[in-house]
């Protein structure tokens, strides 16, 4: 038993070691130039595709079954090695299989949370002001690495955030996505679900279930969205329009409104306009959108765009009008100074002769 534990542990340790070894060479360069980037995140896309990148870690598997076995021993033997982190063949944290959600009251809450995550605008219609769902930006039911996966988030809250200058709990964070990404101000209630709502209870139960075996306080590889370093050319709306035409129009349409299906509702989500995220959302920032796009778009072709194209197309989609920042009380100018100072965003700036940020309504 001890041996098994040891194998499991040393395998995942080895994967970490290899990652470090890989990172070390380029890492020196990185530090020298002073990009304060997460070496692992950077590595995974600098190697071209995550498949290429993660094949280096291909043997790094430590199954959930091995973890369960190690946990059992650990509960009886206080000297036993701590159970390791479940890791898949791609080297990233391995969330539990959906088929393993138990048929218990707890499992029911997990399923309710999952349904809210997948069909937000219909299940929480009182508090959602657009046609988006959580899964539109947190892909694969919130399981996908580099897509701000819920297993990467659950273990890192409560935390201090400069956006709010306060400690945020996980519930606060989800409330933020309702307020900005889901544009709650345009919903029937006009606000995000109130603190303590069952909506948060179910969503957090889903996230807790997904994070089983992940250690608190750690930023796991693939957590959050990747940060792209700035390019020499900077970003440009006209170049971005070309990238958009060649890579995105097929699904998100020329007018950026995506596509709807009479039966199942939104198939391809809108990228701007009244049914999209508002100006206060993380995705309205050009740097955040560029990182998301690099790792996740075009859908099914992660890490296929160059960094330059990802920046430019992020600038293009975020150069269109969208619902106003939910925090804006006075003028756009005031809100720009108060909430968007120094940010990579067109909020309050002039693009093609128009000052952006005024908002659009349905």
| Interface residues toward ligand HEC, by CB under 6 A | 120, 132, 134-139, 148, 152-153, 156, 173-174, 177-178, 181-182, 203, 223-224, 247-248, 250-252, 268-271, 276-277, 281-283, 288-289, 293, 297-300, 305, 313, 317
Using an 8 Å Cβ cutoff, are 310 and 294 in contact? Answer: yes
Give 61 or 318: the residue with its C-beta nearer to ligand HEC.
Answer: 318
Q: Which residue's CB is nearer to ligand HEC, number 83 or number 155?
A: 155
Question: Which of 61, 181 has the CB closer to ligand HEC?
Answer: 181
State whether residue 104 is helix, strand or coil: coil
Distance in Å, CB of 322 to ligand HEC, minimum: 10
Question: In angstroms, what is the minimal distance from the CB of 259 to ligand HEC?
Answer: 9
Shortest distance, position 176 Cβ to ligand HEC, whole Å? 7
If the CB atoms of residues 286 and 335 are measured against ligand HEC, the closer one turns out to be: 286
Residue 221: both structure tokens together? 């590889």
Alpha-carbon 327 to chain mean position: 22
Q: Closer CB to ligand HEC, residue 66 or residue 293?
A: 293
Ramachandran category for residue 222: left, alpha or beta (phi over 0 → left; psi -120 to 50 → alpha): left
- CB of 137 vs ligand HEC, minimal distance in Å: 3
Residue 343 and residue 286 in contact, taking contact as beta carbons nearer than 8 Å: no
Task: Find the shortest distance in angstroms from Cβ 208 to ligand HEC.
Answer: 12
How far apart are CB 244 and ligand HEC at their closest, in Å?
6
Residue 106's Cβ-side half-sphere holds a number of Cα atoms within 13 Å equal to 7
Give the whole-angstrom CA distance, residue 339 versus residue 97.
Answer: 40
Nearer Cβ to ligand HEC (87/203): 203
CB of residue 113 to ligand HEC, shortest distance in Å: 9
How far, in Å, CA of 116 to CA of 206, rounded? Answer: 10
The residues, ordered by sequence, that sit 6+ positions from 215 with a Cβ below 8 Å of its Cβ are: 85, 155
Nearer to ligand HEC among residue 62 and residue 303 (C-beta): 303
3-state SS, 9-59, equals: HHHHHHHHHHHHHHHHHHHHHHHHHCCCCCHHHHHHHHCCCHHHHHHCCCC
């Amino acid at each position: 038993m001890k041996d098994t534990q040891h194998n499991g542990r040393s395998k995942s340790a080895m994967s970490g070691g290899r990652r470090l070894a890989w990172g070390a060479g380029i890492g020196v360069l990185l530090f020298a130039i002073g990009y304060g980037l997460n070496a692992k995140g950077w590595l995974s896309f600098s190697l071209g595709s995550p498949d290429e990148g993660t094949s280096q870690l291909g043997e790094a598997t430590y199954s959930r079954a091995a973890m369960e076995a190690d946990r059992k021993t650990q509960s009886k033997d206080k000297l036993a090695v701590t159970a390791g982190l479940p890791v898949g063949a791609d080297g990233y944290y391995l969330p539990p299989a959906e088929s393993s959600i138990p048929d218990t009251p707890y499992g029911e809450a997990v399923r309710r949370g999952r349904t809210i995550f997948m069909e937000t605008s219909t299940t929480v219609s009182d508090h959602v002001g657009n046609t988006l769902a959580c899964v539109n930006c947190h892909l694969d039911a919130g399981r996908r690495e580099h897509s701000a996966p819920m297993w990467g988030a659950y273990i890192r809250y409560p935390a201090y955030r400069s956006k709010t200058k306060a400690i945020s709990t996980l519930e606060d964070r989800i409330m933020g996505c309702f307020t900005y990404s889901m544009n709650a101000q345009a919903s029937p209630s006009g606000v995000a679900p109130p603190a303590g709502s069952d909506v948060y209870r179910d969503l957090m139960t889903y996230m807790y279930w997904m994070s089983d075996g992940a250690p608190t306080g750690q930023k796991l590889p693939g957590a959050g969205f990747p940060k792209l370093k700035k390019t020499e050319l900077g970003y440009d709306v006209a170049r971005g329009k070309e990238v958009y035409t060649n890579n995105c129009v097929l699904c998100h349409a020329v007018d950026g409104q995506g596509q709807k299906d009479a039966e199942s509702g939104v198939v391809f989500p809108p990228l701007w306009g009244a049914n999209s995220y508002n100006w206060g959302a993380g995705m309205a920032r050009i740097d955040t959108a560029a990182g998301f796009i690099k790792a996740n778009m075009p859908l099914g072709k992660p890490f296929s765009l160059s960094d330059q194209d990802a920046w430019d197309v992020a600038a293009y989609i975020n150069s269109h009008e969208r619902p106003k920042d939910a925090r804006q009380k006075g003028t756009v100018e005031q809100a720009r100074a108060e909430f968007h100072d120094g940010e990579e965003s067109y909020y309050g700036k002039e693009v093609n002769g128009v000052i952006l940020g005024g908002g659009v309504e349905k």
